Amino acid sequence: MDAIIFHEESKTFKLIAGESNYVLQITPKGQIAHRYWGAPVRDFDLRAMLDLAGGACIDENDENILDESNETFHAEYPGGGAGDWRIPAVTALAQDGSSAVDLRYVSHEIFDGKPALKGLPATYANSSDEAQTLAITVKDKYCGLSAVLYYTVFDGSNAIARHSVLRNDGDTPLSLNYVMSVCVDFPSMDYKMLGLYGAWARERHVEWKPLRRGGQNIQSRRGFSSAQFNPFTALAAPNADEKSGEVYGFSLVYSGSFLIEAEVDVKETTRVVMGINPYDFAWKLDAGEEFTTPEAVLVYSGAGYGEMSRTYHKLYSKNLCRGQWRDKRRPILINNWEATYFKFNADKLVQLAKLAEKQGIEMLVMDDGWFGKRENDHSGLGDWYVNEEKLGCSLDELVNRVNDAGLKFGIWFEPEMVNPDSNLYRAHPDWALAMPTRPRTLGRNQMVLDMSRKEVQDYLVERISDILNSANISYVKWDCNRFITEAFSCALPAERGREIWHRYMLGLYGVLEHLVTAFPKVLFESCASGGARFDPAMLHYMPQTWASDNTDAIDRLKIQYGTSFVYPIRTIGAHVSATPNHQTGRTTPFMTRGDVALQGTFGYELDLAKLSEGDYDQIEDQVDRYHEYQKVIFNGDFYRLISPFDDLTQAAWMYVSADKKNALVQCVMQIMTANHPPRRVKLQGLDPAGFYKIEELGVTMHGDTLMNLGFIIPEVYGDHQSVCLTIKRKG
Ligand code: GLA
């Protein structure tokens, strides 16, 4: 690949990321300047095109006289304390109490492939010629902090992956109090900013807000990436939409507390930083030690949000998710949680499996309640030993019975947690995060284990491995049902106490790495009270995430719509559940529930014994449709057509196969109104010259007609009805 060019004369690097350029320059005094990110430009030296006038802190008498004032400088990785008062990328506190950082160029390297990040999940290159990396070494010669700034571009993708490795090259310790993964300076403030906000059962709702002067942020301080905000934002031109306009995506490959801040300064330029949340964070860097930031994945689209999302979908499907399940069709599963909650035994599960098999369902997942003393959510977490008394048999026997019924078997864990009422807590109270001098805060009656501790990591690996080895288990649901409070490890020395937030994540990632490597055939799905940890980092270990505890098809329209801004459809856990829905009390047609669950991994979560014959017929149809369209949904391109946020009546989306021969369009009537005006939908992603038949309408038209004129969504009667249109290319 020849995607990274160094223009010797102007000391400029140009990263050619698909159909976008990212340009940075070394100034004569070694500052690393950010010059441009966007659609391709032919020139290298872009300095004259930027307003860099004014600004304080240029001292003509100093040998370090700056070429460009730090105050107005567009910087790649700015430090604080040396004339740049905007939000920094890094600050370091030296032993003498000083804290300025000004990183200057030392050397650079351009090489094929992409290096792994030590202990952290990240995108990867499938072969060394699929990616190219630029590594720039910079150093502050006063405080001794050095950094290697990594930039990777991927063949044919508009994405750039960035991270930094900081090193203490001095003789005395430094404290990193603020260390971002990425900083990008934009030459204007004419953007709107996207936040995917939410709460339990209402994750990843879409909110665009115009940038205003000063700072605006999106963050989690909860220890996990959270349902409240996703570690993602996009800046878009004010008039950008799904199909047009410039959009800049920022996605953080991290599951812990994060910060994304956009700051508009006096010059009306905008700085965006993203990384580990500096709140309550400090990391001691002893002489010679290194710190690796999580990875940030930037995506440029000149053609609206839709194109940005598809760029993330492709990259995260093929260069972030891993393992045998990455590209494999996922089995249609039935999960017993909403069917039984804690009240089940082996006979009930086997009954469910037998009914499921008749419907073409392929795997039974045994959810919470099979271990320890676990009849409700007050006790048992941490005791990962099978409760044979409750099940009425051993796990192996149960799994064999389910396998004999023709289904694979999956199992639920919530490894990072412990109930005070558990044998584990009674034996090791110090294994839970808590502050010895304060009362503990419980969440769902549980505490969070100290994942930074080797003993805890070893215990979990041993217990989970033991269970997975004891029976023919094909799938694991890895849950995490509360946030972190009293973030304190009694195993860390005081001066490293604030490292706990990040050490927790490193410990968790280590355990996950171990398990997915040791059990490559097992399909892992992540979950956190539904979708409270739906982030790219988790997808590196587990190729699908339960999107929400809210299984209501109408609420799911919004949750899945927001999720699709970054995350591939094939990673979105979605199930058909019972009505009235357990979270909303709403009754929706069985068909709609199936159509909405198709927008994801597809499965069921209800008691099949309570269904009618009519429902069984619907399941048969849904399973057939899943098999017919799974490849298009899993591997195809996804287009959002009508936003459930903008339109109170309809929502619509579609999938198009890579060869553009097949497409599936789905529309859902959110709320019916009598005599409502006809709703027109314009398709996307077809070949304009292709001749396509919409099977259900019996109409054959060219792709350009379907995309530019569109057609009226067939009339339905009643709330929450869905329409599914199958489109086949005929010529
Ligand atoms: C969380 C999950 C649910 C279920 C329960 C079990 O809420 O999101 O799917 O597994 O825990 O306690």
Q: How far is CA 349 from the centre of its chain?
A: 32
Span from the CA of 415 to the centroid of ligand 1 (angstroms): 13
Q: What is the pLDDT of residue 71?
A: 84
Span from the CA of 543 to the centroid of ligand 1 (angstroms): 18
Query: Ligand 1, closest atom to CA 367?
Result: 10
Find all residues with CB under 8 Å of 3, minimum gap 6, and list them: 15, 16, 17, 132, 153, 155
Spatial separation of the C-alpha atoms in residues 468 and 475, rounded to whole Å:
9
Spatial separation of the C-alpha atoms in residues 655 and 636, rounded to whole Å:
6
Q: What is the pLDDT of residue 647?
A: 84
Closest CA to 566 of 529, 531, 592: 531
Span from the CA of 579 to the centroid of ligand 1 (angstroms): 18
Q: What is the pLDDT of residue 61?
A: 53
Query: Ligand 1, closest atom to CA 528?
Result: 8
CB of 481 within 6 A of ligand 1: the answer is: yes
Output the pTM of the full model: 0.98
Residue 62 pLDDT grade (very low, low, confident, very high; cuts 50, 70, 90) = low
Spatial separation of the C-alpha atoms in residues 41 and 62, rounded to whole Å:
35
Spatial separation of the C-alpha atoms in residues 71 and 52, rounded to whole Å:
9
Span from the CA of 284 to the centroid of ligand 1 (angstroms): 37
Question: Of the residues 341, 366, 549, 556, which should be mutated to test ligand 1's pocket, given the most ligand atoms within 8 Å of the CB?
Answer: 549
Q: For residue 453, is pLDDT > 90? A: yes
Q: For residue 260, is pLDDT > 70? A: yes
CB of 549 within 6 A of ligand 1: the answer is: yes
First to last CA, the chain: 36
Give me the catalytic one of 185, 450, 479, 552: 479
* Nearest CA residue ID for atom 1, ligand 1: 529
Alpha carbon separation from 1 to 5, 125, 155 (Å, rounded): 11, 12, 7
CB of 419 within 6 A of ligand 1: the answer is: no
DSSP string covering 406-470 = T-EEEEEE-TTEE-SSSHHHHH-GGGB---TTSPPPPBTTBEEB-TTSHHHHHHHHHHHHHHHHH
Question: Of the residues 202, 335, 338, 368, which should be mutated to test ligand 1's pocket, given the most ligand atoms within 8 Å of the CB?
Answer: 368
CB of 367 within 6 A of ligand 1: the answer is: yes
Question: Of the residues 375, 479, 482, 606, which should be mutated to test ligand 1's pocket, given the most ligand atoms within 8 Å of the CB?
Answer: 479
Span from the CA of 380 to the centroid of ligand 1 (angstroms): 15
CB of 412 within 6 A of ligand 1: the answer is: yes
Q: What is the pLDDT of residue 212?
A: 98
User: Mean pLDDT, to the nearest integer, of 289-295?
Assistant: 98
CB of 203 within 6 A of ligand 1: the answer is: no
pLDDT mean across residues, the chain: 96
Q: What is the pLDDT of residue 594?
A: 98
CB of 577 within 6 A of ligand 1: the answer is: no
Tens digits of per-residue pLDDT, 459-494?
A: 999 999 999 999 999 999 999 999 999 999 999 999
CB 130 within 8 A of CB 155: yes
Percent of the chain with pLDDT over 90: 94
Span from the CA of 423 to the centroid of ligand 1 (angstroms): 22
Tens digits of per-residue pLDDT, 564-614?
A: 999 999 999 999 999 999 999 999 999 999 999 999 999 999 999 999 999
Q: What is the pLDDT of residue 583?
A: 98
CB of 446 within 6 A of ligand 1: the answer is: no
Residue 63 pLDDT grade (very low, low, confident, very high; cuts 50, 70, 90) = low
CB of 550 within 6 A of ligand 1: the answer is: no
Question: Of the residues 412, 482, 544, which should be mutated to test ligand 1's pocket, given the most ligand atoms within 8 Å of the CB?
Answer: 412
* Nearest CA residue ID for atom 11, ligand 1: 529
Find all residues with CB under 8 Å of 571, minimum gap 6, and list them: 316, 317, 321, 539, 543, 544, 545, 601
Closest CA to 33 of 8, 62, 86, 70: 70
CB of 527 within 6 A of ligand 1: the answer is: yes
Query: Ligand 1, closest atom to CA 549?
Result: 8
* Nearest CA residue ID for atom 12, ligand 1: 368
What Rg, from alpha-carbon coordinates, does the chain have?
A: 26
Q: For residue 350, is pLDDT > 60? A: yes
Span from the CA of 368 to the centroid of ligand 1 (angstroms): 7
Please say if 479 is a catalytic residue.
yes
Question: Of the residues 200, 337, 412, which should be mutated to test ligand 1's pocket, given the most ligand atoms within 8 Å of the CB?
Answer: 337
Residue 83 pLDDT grade (very low, low, confident, very high; cuts 50, 70, 90) = confident
Span from the CA of 412 to the centroid of ligand 1 (angstroms): 9
CB of 530 within 6 A of ligand 1: the answer is: yes
CB of 338 within 6 A of ligand 1: the answer is: no
CB of 368 within 6 A of ligand 1: the answer is: yes
* Nearest CA residue ID for atom 6, ligand 1: 368
The tokens for 415 are 């490894």
Q: For residue 29, is pLDDT > 90? A: no
Tens digits of per-residue pLDDT, 174-230?
A: 999 999 999 999 999 999 999 999 999 999 999 999 999 999 999 999 999 999 999
Q: For residue 52, is pLDDT > 90? A: no
Query: Ligand 1, closest atom to CA 530?
Result: 8
Span from the CA of 336 to the centroid of ligand 1 (angstroms): 11
User: Mean pLDDT, to the nearest integer, of 629-658?
Assistant: 96
- Which amino acid is present at 247? V
Residue 55 pLDDT grade (very low, low, confident, very high; cuts 50, 70, 90) = low
Spatial separation of the C-alpha atoms in residues 195 and 217, rounded to whole Å:
9
Span from the CA of 318 to the centroid of ligand 1 (angstroms): 28
Q: For residue 50, is pLDDT > 90? A: no
User: What does the chain come to in residues?
Assistant: 731
Please say if 430 is a catalytic residue.
no
Longest CA–CA span in the chain (Å) reads: 88
CB of 529 within 6 A of ligand 1: the answer is: yes
Residue 292 pLDDT grade (very low, low, confident, very high; cuts 50, 70, 90) = very high
Q: What is the pLDDT of residue 56?
A: 58
Spatial separation of the C-alpha atoms in residues 646 and 532, rounded to whole Å:
24
* Nearest CA residue ID for atom 7, ligand 1: 529
Closest CA to 669 of 600, 718, 612, 604: 718
User: Mean pLDDT, to the nearest integer, of 160-164?
Assistant: 98
CB of 479 within 6 A of ligand 1: the answer is: yes
**Which of the residue ranges 43-52, 379-388, 438-447, 531-540 would you say has the lowest mean pLDDT?**
43-52
Residue 80 pLDDT grade (very low, low, confident, very high; cuts 50, 70, 90) = confident
Q: What is the pLDDT of residue 108?
A: 98
User: Mean pLDDT, to the nearest integer, of 667-692?
Assistant: 95
Locus of tokens 């999107």:
547
Span from the CA of 305 to the centroid of ligand 1 (angstroms): 32
Three-state secondary structure call for residue 353? helix
The tokens for 714 are 């067939």
Give me the catalytic one of 140, 265, 535, 549: 549
